[in-house]
Amino acid sequence: MSEAQATVGKDRASDVPNAHEVIRVAREDLPLHCPMPNMRLWDSHPRVYLPIEETGRERCPYCGTLYILGEG
């Protein structure tokens, strides 16, 4: 990750619609997609489905949100 990307991810996350560092999801939330229903939609990116089942973690290619699959 470049220094500029790290800055956006930490210091300026509010500048990117729906940019969150980490969101934990349960198996009940699958299939996982970003943005999720509780996120701002009016200025968001297109819905993308994320294949989190295999690795247990997945990052949204649009906003950079990291999703981690947890138990229950």
pLDDT at 15 > cutoff 70: no
Q: Which domain holds residue 47?
A: 3-69
pLDDT bin (cut points 50, 70, 90) of residue 42 is: confident
pLDDT at 26 > cutoff 80: yes
Residues in CB range of 68: below 8 A, 6 or more apart: 22, 23, 24, 25, 56, 57
Query: What's the domain count of the chain?
Result: 1
pLDDT at 12 > cutoff 70: no
Q: pTM of this prediction?
A: 0.68
pLDDT bin (cut points 50, 70, 90) of residue 39 is: confident
Q: Which residue has the higher pLDDT, 46 or 43?
A: 46
For the chain, where are the alpha helices, taking DSSP H only?
Answer: 3-10
Q: What is the mean pLDDT of residues 18-47?
A: 85
CA separation for the pair 59, 6 (Å, rounded): 14
